[in-house]
């Protein structure tokens, strides 16, 4: 998990920020990105792509990353922004906002399959959250942050079950949309077929 980092360190960089986002495929809520700078040479056992970890393991690693990291930044793009500029651009915007929140500025970026709008040397790595500790740490921070947001959204909009499925297009979520229509936090641009079906019902 440190092969990419070691190559960058060997080229004279010391402050590598791993960058990743979560929530790209959801029907509801913000896309959330994180940027994490870990100390050079640090190994955190168990860090991996957040999707491969249990919720309990993610929460434990979240605390360890927060304790060990040099800096952490989190950025968001809401549903209205996603509908206005599209999900790809919104994810990149959230990543840029996460970078801007770092109190220590990085000198190199490792990014999960994206390019960030920043004047820094950077490397986009396909499946980076499974190949780079820095990116995996960012994926964990972003995932835990967004999951906690889903718990609050679930209280505001209990009819959709957001706390359970986290906004993804599960059967429960699609049926709730057909029954209740979209909330203000749903991504209208993602709902074409579901909304068409709902209008048929009425």
For 81-119, the pLDDT digits (tens) are: 999 999 999 999 999 999 999 999 999 999 999 999 999
- Runs of H (alpha helix) within the chain: 3-10, 55-68, 79-85, 87-100, 133-156, 162-165, 171-180, 192-201
- pLDDT value at 201 more than 60: no
- Sign of CA pseudo-dihedral 45, 51, 53, 55: positive
Q: State both tokens at 27.
A: 């029907």
- pLDDT at 198 exceeding the cut of 70: no
Q: Give the model's pLDDT for residue 202.
A: 44
Q: Given the structure tokens 């059967």, which residue do they identify? A: 171
What pLDDT does 194 receive? 74
pLDDT confidence band for 199 (50 / 70 / 90) = low
β 108-112/122-125 pair status? parallel
**CB burial class (10 A; 0-12, 13-18, 19+) of residue 176?**
buried
């Amino acid at each position: 998990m440190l092969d990419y980092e070691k190559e960058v360190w060997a080229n004279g960089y010391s402050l590598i920020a791993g960058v990743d986002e979560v929530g790209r495929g959801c029907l509801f809520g913000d896309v959330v990105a994180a940027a994490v700078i870990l100390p050079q040479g640090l190994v955190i056992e168990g860090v991996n792509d957040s999707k491969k970890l249990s919720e309990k393991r993610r929460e434990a690693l979240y605390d360890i990353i927060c304790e060990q990291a040099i800096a952490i930044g989190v950025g968001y793009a809401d549903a209205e922004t996603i509908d206005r500029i599209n999900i790809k651009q919104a994810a990149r915007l959230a990543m840029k906002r996460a970078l801007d929140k770092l109190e220590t500025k990085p000198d190199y970026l490792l990014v999960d399959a994206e390019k960030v709008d920043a004047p820094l040397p950077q490397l986009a790595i396909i499946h980076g959250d499974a190949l780079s500790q820095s990116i995996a740490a960012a994926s964990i921070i972003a995932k835990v942050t967004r999951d906690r947001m889903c718990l609050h959204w679930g209280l505001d909009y209990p009819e959709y079950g957001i706390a359970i499925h986290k906004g993804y297009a599960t059967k429960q979520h699609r049926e709730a949309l057909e029954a209740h229509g979209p909330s203000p936090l749903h991504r209208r641009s993602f709902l074409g077929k579901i909304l068409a079906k709902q209008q048929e019902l009425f």
